[in-house]
Structure 1
Amino acid sequence: MITFIVRRLLTGLVLLAAITTLGFTLLYLGGGDIARKILGENADEQTVALKAQELGLDRPVFAQYGDWVVNALGGDLGASWFSGQPVAAAILSRLAVTLSLVTGAVVLIAIISVTLGVLAATKREWIDRVAQVIALLGFAIPNFLFAVALVLLFALTLGWFDPTGYVQFTTSPSGWAKTVTLPVVALALGGIAAITQQVRGSVIDALRNDYVRTLRSRGIPARRVILKHVLRNAAGPALAVLAVYFVGLMGGAVIVEQVFAIPGLGQVAVQATTQGDIPLVMGLLVATGIIVIVFNLLVDLAQGWLNPKVRLS
C-alpha cells in the first residue's frame, strides 16, 4: 500500500511540475505589458522600464521561472504585483469558501448519483426515464445557465434562498446553508448526470454476472446482494469518472462564484488572470493542483480498497 501511495504522489508531483511550467510560460507570453498595467497608461517609458526591471520581467522567462520554483519550494509564493498582498494569504483567505462549494457538490453528486443509478438499473420503468431526463439536462445545460435559473426561481421568485453573497459558517450556520445551497446544486448538476449514467451502466453489467445469480439462488436478499456485492464492483468506474469530473468542478466553481457573488477563489482567479498578475495566478495553479492531486489520491485509495488489483496496476 505504501508503494502504491508513493507512486501516485510522484505522478501527481510530475503533473504539478508540468502544469506550473506550462502555465508560467503561457502567462509570460500572453501577459502583455504588465509593468504598464500596474503603473497605468499615463506612466512614462522610463518608469515602466524601471518597474519591469524591478519585477524581473526583463529577464528570460526560464530564469524567472527558476527563481519562482526555488522560492515556491521554500514556501514563498511571492506577493501580488497589483495589491502587494502575499499570495499565500490571498489564496488561503478564500480557499475554504471554494472548497465548501466543491465538497458539497461532490457529496451531493455521490448521494444522488448512486441512489438514482441503482434504482434506474434495478427498477427501470419511470425511474430509469427520470434518470435519462436528468442526464440530458445535465449534459445540455451549462453550469452558469442553471445557476441563473436557480436564482430566478428559488431566490428572486420564491425567496427561499439568498440570491448572492456568502455567510461564514461560524457566523450563522443557517445563513451559510442559505448562501451555499444553490451554488452547490448548480455545480452538481453535470456530475449527477455523468455519474448516474456510469453507476446505472455498471450496476446493469454487474447484475448480469454469474456470481450475482449464484448469490440470489442461495436465498440472499436482493437488497443485500446489491449493497454488499454489486455496488462494490460498480463503484470503481464511477469513482474514476468522479475523479475526472472533480477538475471540472474546480473550474465550474470559478463561474458559479461569479453568478452568486461568492468571495471564493473564482473572483481572485478572474481578476488575477485579467491583470496578468503572474505570482497570484501561479499560486492559484499550485493550490488547485495540490487539491486535485489529493482528491485523486483519495479516489485511488478507495479504488484500491474496493479492488486490490488496482494497487498492483
Structure 2
Amino acid sequence: MIGYLARRLATGAALLVVISLVAFVLLRTAAGDSIARNILGDTATPDQILAKEQELGLDRPVLAQYLDWVAGAVRGDLGRSFYTPQSVTAALADALPVSLSLVLSVLVVSGVLAFAIGLTCAVRRGWLDRAFQVVSTAVDAVPNFLVGLFLATLLGVQLAWFPAVGYVSPERSVLAWAISLALPVTALALGAIAGVAQQVRSAAIGVLRQDYVRTLRSRGLSERRILLTSVLRNSSTTGLTMLGLQFVGLLGGSVVIEQVFALPGLGSLAVTNTTKGDLPLVMGVVVATVLIVIVVNLVVDLVVAWLNPKARLR
C-alpha cells in the first residue's frame, strides 16, 4: 500500500506541474501586453505601461515569469492580485470553502443516492429498473445549468421555497447554509447520480450472478446481509471509480452553477479575473482546483485499493 500511495502522489505532483505550466503559458500568452493597460486604464501612456510591466515583471520571458511564480508558490506565496491589494491566498481562503461546500456536498449526496438506487434497481429488475433507465437517460441529456436555471426560477423565485441566489456560511447557521446549497447541489447531483447509479447497477447485476452468491443463499444467509457484505463491497469499486471521474466534471459544472446561483466560489473568482487578466488570482484558482482533484481522486483510489487489492497493481 505504501508503494501504491507513493506512485499516486508522484503522479499527482507531476500533474500539478504540467497543468500549472500549461495554464501559465496560455494565460500569459493570451493576455499579451493588455494586462498593464487594463490596470492603468485607456488613458495610460506607453511609458507608463512599460513601467508597470517592469514593476510586475511582465517584461521578462514567460518561462522566467513561471519559474518566479513557482519559487513563490513552493514557499506558500501565490502573490497578490494585479488589481487589488488582496493576496491570492486571502482570496482563495474566502472562495475555497464555498466551492468545497458545494462540490463535496454533491459528492456525498451523489454517492449515497447512486449506490442506493443502483443496488435497488439491480435487485428489483421490474418496472422500477425500467423507469430508472428512462429517467437517467433524460437527466444525462439535460445540461446542469439548465436544471439550475429551472430550479432557481421555480423553487427560488416563483414558489420561494429556497433562496434563488446567495450563500450563507455554516459559521452563521448550519441550517441556513444547507438551505442555501440545496438548489445548487440538486442541479449538480442529478447527472452524477444517474451516471454512477448505472455503473453500480451493472456491477451489482454481475455480482448477483456469481456462484458464491448462490452459495451464500443456500447457506441460509439473509438477502440483506448478502447485499450489504458481498454484493455492495464487490460492486462498489466500479461505482467509486465512476464517482471519482464524475468529480472532475462536477468541478467544471460548478463554475457555471456558481454563476447561476451567485455563489462566491472558485468558479466565480476564476471567471471574473480571467476576463481582467489577473494572472496571480487565476493561477491560484488553477492550483487550488488541481489540488482538490488530486486529493479527492487519491482518496477514491485508496478506498478502491482497500476494497479490491488487485487495484494496487495498476
TM normalised by structure 1 equals 0.97
Partner of 1:140: 141
- Distance (Å, rounded) in 2 between the aligned partners of 1:148 and 1:286: 29
Following superposition, the deviation at residue 78 of structure 1 comes to: 0.4
Following superposition, the deviation at residue 252 of structure 1 comes to: 1.1
Letter in 2 for 1:28: R
3-state DSSP class of the match of 1:25?
helix
Partner of 1:103: 104
Partner of 1:253: 254
Partner of 1:71: 72
String of CA shifts for 1:67-124, please: whole Å, max 9, x gaps.
1111111111000111131001100111111101111101110111011111111102
Partner of 2:6: 6
String of CA shifts for 1:215-245, please: whole Å, max 9, x gaps.
1122211221111101111111111111111
String of CA shifts for 1:114-165, please: whole Å, max 9, x gaps.
1111111110222212321331132111111000111122112222111111
Pairing 1:44-59 to 2, within 5 Å after superposition: 44-59=45-60
Letter in 2 for 1:93: D
Following superposition, the deviation at residue 174 of structure 1 comes to: 2.2
Partner of 2:211: 210
Letter in 2 for 1:220: L
Pairing 1:256-267 to 2, within 5 Å after superposition: 256-267=257-268
- Distance (Å, rounded) in 2 between the aligned partners of 1:39 and 1:22: 27
Letter in 2 for 1:15: L
- Distance (Å, rounded) in 1 between the aligned partners of 2:125 and 2:41: 63
* Unaligned stretches of 5+ residues in structure 1: none
TM normalised by structure 2 equals 0.97
- Distance (Å, rounded) in 1 between the aligned partners of 2:251 and 2:135: 22
- Distance (Å, rounded) in 1 between the aligned partners of 2:234 and 2:94: 40
Partner of 1:242: 243
Are residues 1:131 and 2:132 paired? yes
Letter in 1 for 2:149: V
Following superposition, the deviation at residue 190 of structure 1 comes to: 1.3
Partner of 2:170: 169
Partner of 2:114: 113
- Distance (Å, rounded) in 1 between the aligned partners of 2:249 and 2:60: 35
- Distance (Å, rounded) in 1 between the aligned partners of 2:310 and 2:133: 32
- Distance (Å, rounded) in 1 between the aligned partners of 2:161 and 2:115: 27
Letter in 2 for 1:243: G
Letter in 2 for 1:72: A
Partner of 1:291: 292
Q: Is the 8 A contact 1:138 1:193 kept in 2?
A: yes
String of CA shifts for 1:238-293, please: whole Å, max 9, x gaps.
11111111111111111111111111112111011111111111111111111111
Letter in 1 for 2:24: F
Partner of 1:42: 43
3-state DSSP class of the match of 1:124?
coil
Are residues 1:18 and 2:18 paired? yes
- Distance (Å, rounded) in 2 between the aligned partners of 1:138 and 1:102: 19
Pairing 1:23-34 to 2, within 5 Å after superposition: 23-32=23-32, 33-34=34-35
Partner of 1:312: 313
Aligned length: 313
* Unaligned stretches of 5+ residues in structure 2: none
- Distance (Å, rounded) in 1 between the aligned partners of 2:240 and 2:20: 26
Are residues 1:282 and 2:246 paired? no
- Distance (Å, rounded) in 1 between the aligned partners of 2:243 and 2:84: 36
3-state DSSP class of the match of 1:75?
coil
3-state DSSP class of the match of 2:28?
helix
Moved over 6 A (4+): none
- Distance (Å, rounded) in 1 between the aligned partners of 2:229 and 2:180: 37
Partner of 2:158: 157
Calculate the aligned-residue CA RMSD, in Å: 1.1
